[in-house]
């Protein structure tokens, strides 16, 4: 089979002593150091061994191979916790339709929307899908992304969902990036099941999910619970199937209307409820109790010219962790910069800068169940961190259209930049 993977050029190891660093607020919660104090990070065998004030560096690490950060600001590797990165074709025509006044729901009902990406995805073979997704992944990685979720949901049959999930796995291997593959077979009703959504959910629960899980292709299960997609009852059937296989769930919840999906997802201990523009007070309370993360997707809000803001103030007051993600997809969020989403989360949703940065690090990791390995810089975790060419963490939210990355350490390797 033709392999369209990147050539395997080994990236330099990040092992050694990183100095000349300024830790962003919240980057290393366990490291006690004063604001503006020079920080150091010790990387050994691809993992964080030590992090703290350089002045407190244990003598045993002083002689390690040096990497001079040159005063860079450091954050944990970014986590993009909600993407639909693997699909065939693109949908610029729908952008034009919406500019002419059509709504997302009207476009979907006219045969466009998710189903048009399903046609293009079914037509593409695995290598073609890989080749189309790879440059998109490269863009996200250049922004400091070290872990990413990739959903299926444009295949809508066992064969084509498998193809998407296999590409997700291959991307992770080819680029040395943590990929969480989420099965979203219940994303839309495939045309061959028109009028038979119960039968399609049977197929999802009885055949597709068990087979794909047995092949090791599924890390979590998602559903699009919405008027134009699947009902609450259908969503629950998928959650039950996931539970019986021991797989965590998450939900596209309350994006266009309040379906009560978030409360249902919380009952199943969901990792996250995503979009949540129409989330109710009861949904917030259920998420709080379950420890479910609210994933905010300003790219979709912006693209759809939505006016219903997610209930940020109520989520904040309840202490529900808020993550921020690109929701990269060809219909509602063709976004390829997580930093731009940080800017939008602040500008459109009024998150504070620390909230938005936590949203693409610690809370995004939790939305993927990766909180033990990603989202903060802590001893024992794989080395994933980003050096930024800025002085102040607020600059990460303030600039847009800029790429202030100066180096990325991903999975213990220097993946971008060459801080000497
Ligand atoms: O997250 N809401 C459903 N799924 C995607 C849109 C997918 C599409 O339009 O292709 C989303 O916005
Ligand atoms: Fe989505």
Could you report the per-residue pLDDT of 109-153, keeping only the tens digit for each? 888 899 999 999 999 999 999 999 999 999 999 999 999 999 999
Atom of ligand 1 nearest to the CA of 229: 3
For the chain, how many residues are written?
Answer: 420
Q: Which atom of ligand 1 is nearest to the CA of 113?
A: 9
Which residue's alpha carbon is nearest to atom 1 within ligand 1?
327
Q: Hey, what's the torsion of the CAs at 297, 300, 197, 263, to 10 degrees?
A: 30
387 within 8 A of 407, measured Cβ to Cβ: yes
Centre of ligand 1 to C-alpha 176, Å, is 27
Ligand 1 pocket, residue 327 CB under 6 Å: yes
| pLDDT level of residue 6 (50, 70, 90 thresholds) | low
252 lines ligand 1 (CB under 6 A): yes
End-to-end CA distance of the chain: 39
Q: pLDDT class for 9, splitting at 50, 70, 90?
A: low
Which of 105, 111, 114 is the best mutation target for the ligand 1 pocket, counting ligand atoms within 8 Å of the beta carbon and taking the most?
114
Residue 418 CA to residue 75 CA, distance in Å, equals: 17
Say whether pLDDT at 5 is over 80. no
- Tell me the whole-structure pTM to 2 decimals: 0.96
Residue pLDDT, tens place only, 152-211? 999 999 999 999 999 999 999 999 999 999 999 999 999 999 999 999 999 999 999 999
Mutate to test the pocket of ligand 1, among 107, 186, 227, 252 (most ligand atoms within 8 A of CB): 252
Question: Does the pLDDT at position 420 exceed 50?
Answer: no
- Cα-to-centroid distance, 327 and ligand 2 (Å): 5
User: How far is 58 from 394, CA to CA, in rounded Å?
Assistant: 31
Q: Whose CA is nearest to atom 12 of ligand 1?
A: 332
274 forms bridges with which residues in the sheet?
252, 295
**C-alpha dihedral (410, 412, 418, 420), degrees to nearest 10:** 150
Mutate to test the pocket of ligand 1, among 81, 116, 187 (most ligand atoms within 8 A of CB): 187
Residue 328 Cα to ligand 1 midpoint, Å, equals: 9
Nearest Cα residue to 336 out of 31, 80, 165: 80
Whether the Cβ atoms of residue 130 and residue 138 lie closer than 8 Å to each other? no
Tell whether the model's pLDDT for residue 419 goes beyond 50.
no
Ligand 1 within 6 A of CB of 299: no
Q: Which atom belonging to ligand 1 lies closest to the Cα atom of 224?
A: 3
pLDDT tens figures, 32-58: 788 789 999 999 999 999 999 999 999
CA of 331 from ligand 1 middle (Å) equals 6
Q: Which ligand is nearest to the CA of 82?
A: 2
- Lowest-confidence range among 61-70, 95-104, 285-294, 308-317? 95-104
Instruction: Give percent above pLDDT 70 in the chain.
Output: 97
Burial environment of residue 318 by CB neighbours within 10 A (0 to 12, 13 to 18, 19 or more): middle
Structure tokens at 133: 């997704």
Tell me how far apart the alpha carbons of residues 211 and 279 are, in angstroms, rounded to a whole number: 33
Q: Which ligand is nearest to the CA of 156?
A: 1
Using a 6 Å cutoff on CB, does residue 94 contact ligand 1?
no
Tokens 């693109």 sit on residue: 90
Stretch 335-360: mean pLDDT: 98
- Write the CB contacts of 296 (distance below 8 Å, at least 6 apart in sequence): 276, 310, 312, 322, 323, 324, 325, 345, 349, 351, 359
Mean pLDDT of all residues in 85-91: 97
């Amino acid at each position: 089979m033709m392999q369209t993977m990147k050539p395997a050029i080994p990236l330099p190891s990040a092992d050694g002593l990183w100095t000349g660093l300024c830790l962003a607020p919240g980057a290393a919660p366990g490291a006690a150091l004063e604001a503006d104090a020079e920080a150091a990070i010790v990387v050994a065998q691809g993992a964080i061994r030590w992090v703290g004030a350089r002045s407190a560096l244990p003598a045993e690490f002083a002689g390690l191979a040096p990497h001079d950060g040159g005063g860079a600001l450091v954050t944990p590797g970014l986590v993009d916790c909600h993407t639909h990165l693997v699909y065939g074709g693109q949908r610029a025509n729908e952008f034009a339709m919406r500019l002419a006044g059509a709504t997302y729901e009207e476009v979907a009902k006219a045969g466009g929307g998710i189903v048009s990406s399903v046609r293009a995805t079914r037509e593409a073979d695995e290598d073609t899908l890989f080749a189309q997704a790879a440059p998109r992944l490269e863009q996200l990685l250049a922004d400091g992304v070290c872990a990413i979720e990739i959903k299926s949901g444009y295949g809508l049959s066992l064969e084509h969902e498998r193809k998407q999930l296999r590409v997700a796995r291959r991307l992770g291997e080819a680029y040395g990036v943590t990929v969480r593959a989420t099965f979203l077979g219940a994303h839309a009703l495939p045309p061959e099941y028109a009028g038979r959504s119960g039968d399609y959910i049977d197929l999802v629960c009885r055949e597709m999910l068990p087979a794909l899980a047995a092949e090791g292709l599924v890390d979590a299960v998602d559903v699009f619970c919405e008027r134009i997609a699947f009902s609450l009852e259908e969503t629950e059937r998928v959650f039950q199937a996931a539970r019986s296989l021991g797989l965590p769930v998450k939900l596209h919840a309350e994006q266009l209307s309040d379906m009560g999906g978030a409360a249902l997802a919380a009952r199943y201990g969901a990792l996250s409820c995503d979009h949540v523009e129409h989330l109710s007070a009861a949904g917030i309370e259920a998420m709080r109790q379950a420890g479910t993360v609210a994933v905010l997707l300003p790219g979709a809000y912006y693209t759809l010219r939505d006016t219903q803001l997610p209930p940020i103030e109520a989520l904040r007051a309840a202490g529900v962790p808020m993550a921020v993600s690109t929701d990269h997809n060809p219909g509602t969020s063709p976004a390829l910069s997580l930093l731009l989403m940080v800017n939008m989360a602040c500008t459109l949703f009024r998150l504070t800068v620390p909230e938005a940065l936590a949203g693409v690090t610690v809370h995004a990791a939790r939305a993927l169940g990766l909180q033990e390995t990603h989202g903060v810089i802590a001893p024992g975790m794989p080395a994933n961190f980003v050096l930024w060419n800025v002085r102040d963490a607020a600059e990460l939210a303030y600039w847009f259209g800029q790429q202030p990355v100066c180096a990325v350490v991903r999975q213990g390797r220097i993946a971008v930049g060459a801080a000497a």
